[in-house]
Amino acid sequence: MEKLRKNKRIGRRTFLKVSGLGATGFALGGGLPFRSLAGPKEILIGDIHPTSGGLAEFGKSCRDGTELAVEDINEAGGIKSLGGARLKLLAADSEGKPEVGMKAAERLIQQGVVAIIGAFQSSVTFATTQIGEKYKIPTVIDFGIAENILERGFKYCFRLMPSTDMASEQWANFTMDMAKSKNVDVKTVVIIHENTLYGTSFAKKAKGYIEKAGMEVIAVIPYPYNTADLSSEVSKIKALRPDIIAPISYTPDAILLTKALASQKVYAKGYIGLSSAGHGNLAYVTSLGKLAEYNMTQTAFGNRKAARYSSFEAGFKKRFGVEPNVAPACYNYSAALLLADAMERVGSAEPTAVRDALVKSSFRDHLLPGETISFDEIGQNKSVISPFIQVFQGRQYVVWPKKFAQKKVVFPMPSWDEILK
């Protein structure tokens, strides 16, 4: 009969056995330090966009952009500094509603996304970034122009599109520059805008910059974006006779507005969308046929002169069978590339590390007009431009600033009779 060891000191072998078992158990059970040493094989990225409801068509274009980017990144070898880890996109539908977006953000974070791209609408983005900040998951905002999104002192928000200030200032300066270059006098502006957070916040900011640039805003006309009819609002504009009509609209209202302006023969030297998502949308152009010709709008747009653009466009057509809706697709494509670049630089897919890498971004290989993507202290992309695009024969081309222009601008706007000839 063996004498049992009476002393309480643990022997070396037992110690090794126990710790070995414990370590394995800990690793299997999901202890973080062990995970990151091995490196994740698949990195989850979340995408929140309105793929149903009134803005579904923008939502889908945004989603297509991120999907294509994720596929291209994986095909190019994934995140090489993480051993070729592949990205996986977890997509969620915000239905265009902030509450649904918030629930989607919570769900995606529970499922383990390391970052979120989204959410196209200011109202939804405002809500989802709160969730991201709470769980310390960085969000790369494609569109979502309202001021207050980046004014909360959050550390985990990064916005690609120009801020309202940047875009308004650009609109005012571009309009003046363009008019000067064509020797046209522009003095009065009427702003007509949809009345959610998007249109309202933009109109307010823009008014200041327009007046600073030397023009006068003689009226600001709000309307509900899902209205059935804009003829009365257009009659108001007709009575005012401004030099420039500046709409801020989503797509269906943009279509109604243009039809009403054409049928009431309202003429202005410029009908220039003020960072108007609707006027920049390809669907707007295709459904109006001839009526869209020479329409101009400032819009977040892609840069067709970017080095990567032609391969992006070819890849998009191959994957989805249609031409990309330039702005949503390019922005979201670039957002995903930016995230991959951040992870590549920092060699980690840990959300806070990714966030720190994003802060230091200086990313060149993107599809946006502007210089490198880099962010200021509140997370705003510093150098991006929302250029003026104009419609020629059913296609949209950047016309101002000249540096990114693909075609020569036509200004002032020809009369409706000429357009319909």
Partner 1 sequence: MPLNTTLIIQATVNGILIGSIYALVAVGLTIIFGVMNIVNFAHGSLMMVAMYLSYWLFVSLRVDPYLSMMMTIPFLFLSGVLIQRFLIDHVLEAKHHIQILLTVGLALFLDNFALFLFSPDFRAITVSYQTSSLALGPVMIDCPKMIAFFLACALTFCLHTILKKTTMGKAIRATSSEKEGAILVGIDTRRIYYLTFGIGSACVGAAGAAVLPFFYCSPNVGYAFVIPAFVVVVLGGMGNFWGTLVGGLIIGVAEHLGAIFVPGSLKQMVMFIIFILVLFLKPRGIFSK
Nearer to partner 1, 290 or 317 (CB): 290
Q: Burial, 327: exposed, middle or buried (Cβ in 10 Å; 0-12, 13-18, 19+)?
A: buried
147 CB-contact burial (10 Å; exposed 0-12 / middle 13-18 / buried 19+):
middle
Nearer to partner 1, 19 or 263 (CB): 263
Q: Interface with partner 1 includes 176 (CB under 8 A)?
A: no
Within 8 A by CB and 6+ apart from 217, the residues are: 188, 189, 190, 191, 207, 210, 211
- Which run of H or of E encompasses 245? strand 244-248
> Measured from the CB of residue 286, what is the shortest distance to partner 1 in angstroms?
9
Nearer to partner 1, 43 or 327 (CB): 327
Distance between CA atoms of 358 and 341, rounded to whole angstroms? 9
Round to whole Å and give the CA distance between 107 and 119.
Answer: 15
Binding of partner 1 by 262 (CB under 8 A) = yes
What does the block give as tokens for 335?
A: 């957002």
Residue 396: CB minimum distance to partner 1, A: 17
Q: Which of 57, 133, 147, 177 binds partner 1 (CB under 8 A)?
A: 57
At closest approach, how far in Å is the CB of 259 from partner 1? 6
Which CA distances in Å does 103 have to 56, 97, 260?
18, 10, 39
What's the farthest any 2 CA atoms get from each other in the chain?
A: 112
- Determine, following the binding rule CB under 8 A, whether residue 188 of this chain makes contact with partner 1: no
- Residue 322 touches partner 1, criterion: CB under 8 A: no
Does residue number 56 form part of the binding site for partner 1 (CB under 8 A)? yes
State the minimum distance, in angstroms, from the CB of residue 252 to partner 1. Answer: 5
Q: Assess 394 for contact with partner 1 (CB under 8 A).
A: no
421 interacts with partner 1 by CB under 8 A: no
- In whole angstroms, the minimum distance from the beta carbon of 95 to partner 1 comes to 11
d(CA 211, CA 96): 33
Query: What's the length of the chain?
Result: 421
Q: Give yes or no for residue 209 binding partner 1 (CB under 8 A).
A: no
Whether residue 142 contacts residue 335, with contact meaning beta carbons closer than 8 Å, is answered with yes
Q: How far is the CB of 315 from partner 1 (least distance, A)?
A: 21
Among 256, 274, 329, 346, binds partner 1 (CB under 8 A): 256
Q: Is 243 in the site for partner 1 (CB under 8 A)?
A: no
Which of 14, 148, 181, 235 forms a contact with partner 1 (CB under 8 A)?
A: 235
Across 9-54, the runs of DSSP E, i.e. the strands, are: 42-49
CB of 264 to partner 1, least distance (A): 5
In angstroms, give the least distance from the CB of 17 to partner 1: 59
Query: In angstroms, what is the minimal distance from the CB of 187 to partner 1?
Result: 17
Q: Which residues pair with 234 in a beta bridge?
A: none
Query: Which residues lie below 8 Å from residue 182, measured CB to CB, with a gap of 6+?
Result: 409, 411, 412
Which one of the spans 165-173, 229-237, 305-313, 407-415 is the region binding partner 1 (CB under 8 A)? 229-237
Sign of CA dihedral 179, 180, 186, 187: positive
Beta carbons within 8 Å of 33's beta carbon, 6+ residues apart: none
Minimum distance of partner 1 from residue 48's CB (angstroms): 16
- Rounded distance between C-alpha atoms, residue 339 and residue 330, angstroms: 14
Q: Does 283 bind partner 1 (CB under 8 A)?
A: yes
Q: Pick from 42, 75, 151, 229: which binds partner 1 (CB under 8 A)?
A: 229
Residue of 186, 268, 288, 339 that binds partner 1 (CB under 8 A): 288
**By CB under 8 A, residue 233 contacts partner 1:** yes
DSSP, collapsed to helix, strand or coil, labels residue 2 as coil
Q: Per DSSP, which regions of 81-214 are E strands?
A: 86-93, 115-118, 139-141, 157-159, 188-194
Tell me which residues touch partner 1 (CB under 8 A): 51-54, 56-57, 59-60, 195, 219, 221-224, 226-229, 231-233, 235-236, 239-240, 251-252, 255-256, 259, 262-265, 283, 287-291, 416, 420
